[in-house]
Amino acid sequence: MASTATMTTATASTRTPATFQPTPRIAISLRLSRSDDASTSLDVQLRACHDSIRAAGFDPETAEVFVDNGVSGATPLADREGMSGLMEYQPTHVWAWKLDRYSRSVREFLHLVEWAETPGKRVILATADGSLNTGTPGGRLIALILVALAEWERQMMTERILAAHKERREQGRWISGFAPFPYKTVREHPKAPAYLDADSAMVPLVIKAVGVLLAEGGNLSNSSENLPIGRQQWRKLLMGVTLRGWRKHKGALVVQDDGVTPVQFAPEVLDTVTYARVQAKLKELARPETNVPRADTPFLGGFVVCVKCSGSFNGGSSDRKKQLYKCASGCGAIMANVVEPLVFAEFRERFGLEHVMRAVHTGGIDNSAALSDLEASRQRIVKAIALVDGPALEDLAAKLTDTKATIERLTAEHNPEVTVTYEPTRTRLFEVWDGATKEARRSLLAERGLRVTISPARKGLPSAGRAKIEWGMPPREKKKPTRPTTVAERRMLAAAADTAA
């Protein structure tokens, strides 16, 4: 009897899988890249692992679960919170649903195998689908082969996605994300490809804003006032190619198969000529002398000067937080609500009934915008010729010849000399003044050569009497006023001013 019991125990011991230890510490590794795939959800993975652990003769309830949710299979193991916790747990057995749940990178999986094969530790890696069991040499070899195939599949998937995106760009389709301003995405039906179309509510605002920008006194600030985007976004939109209906990918213009013609992603908002004028205006505004004044610049900043030191009156605030103009050299100050109404009233009285003049351009052929586009096209053709051979090379060579001929013809016709004459309109100047912005009013004052000279405050002299308004004065040179440093210098300047008066 004892011998039989001994034999039975030995037989049972022989049948016990050599891969598993008598007192295991079991861990389950779950990983999910996207939460919208129900077939690979965390619950599906966990149930499969429990079934596999139970089939191996262990209690799945004793297993510790480590989760990496929203983590790509190419992510390094050290950057995965769940996997890092699993390694610190020091298990004897690790289960995953499938091999690619461990990693889709051969290098990272090798790191995992090296960690599992550390002398004195020996962690067995297994999968619920039975494709992996590193408890045997053959199992480790198969694991490395399978993970190499998983990485190959991931690389092929990436290449397929990039190829699909490239094809969609060449077709003028909108791949993903919000449509750029002022466009919208349209589809024939919910599952149809998306394309860009002009937003009928936004495009008129853009066209009007461009008109304000190109008008006299126009800048990025006053032209973007009625747009739903900020000044910096407006500048970026104007500098790019979006309003031509084109797109750039990785800094390069997206072109058709010929490597030359831009793909038309959306209707054109700005034509070639208007786009060229906008680029010229942006360059002009980028120069320091045409920078937009700061928002806190006083209305008459640059027009008000001091009779004593001939310096400018800058903006400031009184002790009661009311705006005033004060001499940069400290000679005095005057309240803004005193001098500004005087200037406005005199402007309306002197110039308000004048007719607004309209510029009429006659003669001249300006092909600069078309020539700029043709030159860019010629450069793209030259680059494409260096990359092709055979019939495609002949087609590009013919296109290059045609482009050069067109450039030569337009260059010969190019004669931008234009005669500008002005004719009166029915609009009166006071109507323009009443509806103008701050910067537009400043431009009107500058055109008429405004200068306001402020005298020092004296007893018996009303504040309004300190301001002398003059028109038709030449623009003042911008120079930093010399500040008197001593009492003697101040007295000398005051005496000179009194003598001149």
Alpha carbon separation from 428 to 324, 343, 359 (Å, rounded): 31, 18, 16
**Which pLDDT belongs to residue 310?**
82
How many CB atoms sit inside 10 A of residue 108's CB? 22
Q: How far apart are CA 262 and CA 242, in angstroms?
A: 12
Angle at 305 between CA 304 and CA 308, to 5 degrees: 150
Angle at 330 between CA 326 and CA 335, to 5 degrees: 20
Average pLDDT along the chain, 501 residues, taken 10 residues at a time: 36 42 82 72 92 90 92 88 91 91 81 80 87 79 71 76 66 71 82 81 91 86 89 90 84 76 83 87 73 59 85 76 81 86 90 83 72 84 80 82 87 75 86 84 87 86 87 72 60 59 48
**Which pLDDT belongs to residue 63?**
93
**Which pLDDT belongs to residue 441?**
86
Closest CA to 96 of 28, 167, 171: 28
3-state secondary structure of 361: strand
Check: CB of residue 210 under 8 Å from CB of residue 276. no
Length of the chain: 501
- The class of domain 13-157 in CATH terms is alpha beta
Find all residues with CB under 8 Å of 346, minimum gap 6, and list them: 469
Check: CB of residue 399 under 8 Å from CB of residue 381. yes
3-state secondary structure of 334: strand
Cα dihedral 414, 416, 421, 423 sign: positive
Q: How far apart are CA 329 and CA 494, in angstroms?
A: 12
CA 83 distance to own-chain centroid = 36
Indicate the pTM of the whole model: 0.42
**Which pLDDT belongs to residue 81?**
92
**Which pLDDT belongs to residue 477?**
64
Q: How far apart are CA 15 and CA 500, in angstroms?
A: 120
**Which pLDDT belongs to residue 491?**
66
Q: How far apart are CA 102 and CA 74, in angstroms?
A: 10
Task: Classify domain 183-290 by CATH architecture.
Answer: Alpha-Beta Complex (3.90)
Closest CA to 30 of 80, 89, 74, 91: 80
Q: What is the dihedral of CA 301, 302, 304, 308, to 10 degrees?
A: 130
Q: How far apart are CA 36 and CA 39, in angstroms?
A: 9
Closest CA to 267 of 287, 237, 242: 242
Residue-range domain boundaries for the chain: 13-157, 183-290, 304-356+428-500, 364-417
Q: Which amino acid is it at 327?
A: C
3-state secondary structure of 488: helix
The pair of three-digit structure tokens given for residue 245, joined into one six-digit string: 């209906």
Residue with tokens 């510029």: 359
